[in-house]
Amino acid sequence: MRGISRWSRLVAVSAAAVVCATGLTSPAVAYGPGDGQGATPGPSGNTDGNGTISATAGAVVYDRDNNGSGPSTGPVTSTSTWTPPACYYAPMFTSEELQKKLEPVWEAGSTGSEWDSTQRNRFVNGKPYKDFNKDKADKGYFWGSYVTEGREGDPGALDCTKDYFWVDTGAPPPADIPEAVTVKVLADLAYAAIRVPSTKVTLAPAGPTKVNLPTWAWLDSAQFKPVSVTASVPVLGMQATTVAEPQSLRIEPGTADAQVYPASGVCTFVNGRIGEPYATGKAGRTPPCGVKYLRSSGDGSYPLRATITWKIHWTGTGVNAPQALPDGEFGAEQAVVVQEIQAVNR
């Protein structure tokens, strides 16, 4: 394992040098073989913002043109224990590219003769690949491990430890590698890339809320519309689109001394809108979505939390019928000042 550690340190330094020199960005961190540590400059892909996608061989690329945007957006969190994969395997190098990557490392001798010999046997001496599989150079790719963007610090990011392996174009990845990219894995990766708007609700009547006075809550329907991300591997002709649609709003008033409307605290979307805007003359009515505070917040405020639940599904290459993924949530807190109603005695 010492050889693996030295390898990791070396490829990390090499990656930093390449990124600094070229200014490249990548949709995922590509790991060197062995322990999943040490970033290497794997293939990259980008969109120009107008729907045109460019990519070099191998990497998963994302089309975010229909994703949520702006400073208040954030990722959804699964409502179950399921999470998108923290790492995965996908095409990374052609035969020539892998040779150019590994031979300088072996020649440097910094990874140790034993490790270098093992690597030469694997990729040059036919155990199992001869001369980097150059006789099949135009018929497939060496696959390697990537870390899902935003998951670099997760323990699961270190789970993909298999060394580079060859997959013929059009052939399925090895069955014993569950993290190998498939259409479903692309859908899961697109889920991780979904961004939705923050959930600050409008409260009325305007100004500080009063004790025992029903407060109406609603959301600007223009902000809450379906969003989607498409993840693809161009060299495999494989893609998946994951769509998130707003489903409901859950209100948590920030204190037990409150009553929510409806009693469940969950307001559903009706005709693309949550709740109903307050208007003059509605003060005596029960709001379809809202809260009534039963006690003053004193000199402070209550942290009302509003959380949107998003229904999520995907379609992709060879999968035309929408397939369900776990619901996702994204919420935010806002301070609510609650005052006692002042009575004037004459």
CA distance 40 to 32: 6
Cβ-contact 58, 52 below 8 angstroms: no
> Locate tokens 């990729």: which residue?
123
Q: What are phi and psi of 54, to 5 degrees?
A: -120, 150
pTM: 0.80
Which burial class, exposed, middle or buried, applies to 80 when counting CB atoms under 10 A from its CB (0-12, 13-18, 19+)? Answer: exposed
Q: Mind listing the pLDDT tens digit of every residue in the chain (346 residues)? A: 223 333 333 333 333 333 333 332 334 555 444 333 333 333 344 444 443 333 334 579 999 999 998 888 999 999 999 999 999 999 999 999 999 999 999 999 888 999 999 999 999 999 999 999 999 999 999 999 999 988 888 989 999 999 999 999 989 888 889 899 999 999 999 999 999 988 888 888 777 899 999 999 988 776 788 999 999 999 999 999 999 999 999 999 999 999 999 999 999 888 778 888 888 878 778 999 999 999 999 999 999 999 999 999 999 999 999 999 999 999 999 999 999 976 544 4
Report yes or no: 147 and 87 within 8 Å, Cβ to Cβ. yes
pLDDT at 285: 86
23: amino acid identity, one letter: G
Phi/psi at 77 (nearest 5 deg)?
A: -115, 130
pLDDT at position 41 is: 33
Closest-CA residue to 326 (of 180, 187, 178): 187
Residue 332 C-alpha from the chain's centroid: 18
Residue type at 61 in one-letter notation = V
| Token duo for residue 3 | 């050889």
Strand order in the sheet with 258-261: 202-204, 215-218, 290-293, 258-261
Measured CA to CA, the distance from residue 127 to residue 136 in angstroms comes to 16
Provide the pLDDT for residue 240. 98
Query: 288: closest CA among 298, 273, 302, 303?
Result: 273
The DSSP result for 149-187, as a single string, is TT-TTSGGGG---PPPEEEETTSPPPTT-TTB--HHHHH
Residue 308: which H helix or E strand, with range?
strand 302-316
Predicted local distance difference test score (pLDDT) of residue 290: 94
Q: What is the pLDDT of residue 274?
A: 86
Residue 278 region, left (φ>0) first, then alpha (ψ -120 to 50), else beta? Answer: beta
Task: Say how far apart CA 31 and CA 40 lie, in whole Å.
Answer: 6
Res 63: pLDDT: 95
CA distances from 18 to 13, 40, 138 (A): 9, 9, 26
Residue 134 is classified by DSSP as G
DSSP H helices in 46-198? 95-108, 113-123, 183-193
Q: Which two tokens stand for residue 196?
A: 């939705």
Which residues touch 70 (CB under 8 Å, ≥6 apart)? 197
Asked if the bond preceding 71 is cis, omega within 30° of 0, the reply is no
Q: 28-31 and 39-40 as β-strands: parallel, antiparallel, unpaired?
A: antiparallel
